[in-house]
């Protein structure tokens, strides 16, 4: 079921509720089971995200080089909390627990693009590029 959910999310940006019945029929499971799977995994969303998703690493190695402060400043500046989207619909901010960039943190991923050693200036540039 995961490959199907990934494909739907890649195409639509989220897994729309209308897709649940189709997936359930195709895999011969109940809609409740499909919902159970979607809700278990952090990756899948049932509502659309912003035009760009900015993931900020919250894990220990990034914390040791200031990720907690960076995240707090970023959220405050955008006026959102984790998982929320900016009012103009440009950016959704998600927490992530390690991107495998732990020797060059704080680490951030904008859509599929990785960025290391992110400080306030670099974050501002990334957000501006994303239209936030």
| Residues numbered 63-92 forming contacts with another protein, rule: CB under 8 A | 63-65, 68
Stretch that binds ligand FES, among 7-15, 18-26, 44-52, 102-110 (CB under 6 A): 102-110
How far is 15 from 34, CA to CA, in rounded Å?
Answer: 11
Asked if 115 is part of the footprint of ligand FES (rule: CB under 6 A), the reply reads: no
How far is 53 from 16, CA to CA, in rounded Å?
Answer: 18
* Closest CB to ligand FES among residues 8, 61: 61
* Closest CB to ligand FES among residues 25, 60: 60
Structure tokens at 100: 């495998």
| Sheet arrangement for strand 108-110 | 91-96, 52-57, 108-110, 113-115
* Closest CB to another protein among residues 32, 87: 32
Structure tokens at 116: 């290391």
Among 38, 62, 71, 130, binds ligand FES (CB under 6 A): 62
């Amino acid at each position: 079921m995961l490959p199907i959910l990934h494909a739907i999310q890649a195409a639509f940006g989220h897994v729309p509720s209308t897709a649940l019945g189709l997936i359930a029929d195709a895999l011969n499971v109940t809609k409740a089971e499909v919902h159970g799977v979607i809700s278990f995994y952090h990756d899948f969303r049932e509502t659309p995200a912003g035009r760009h998703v900015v993931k900020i690493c919250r894990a220990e190695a990034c914390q040791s080089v200031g990720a907690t402060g960076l995240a707090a400043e970023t959220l405050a500046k955008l006026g959102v909390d984790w998982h929320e989207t900016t009012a103009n619909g440009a950016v959704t901010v998600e927490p992530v627990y390690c991107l495998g960039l732990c020797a060059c943190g704080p680490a951030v991923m904008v859509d599929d693009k990785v960025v290391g050693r992110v400080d306030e200036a670099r974050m501002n540039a990334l957000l501006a590029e994303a239209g936030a």
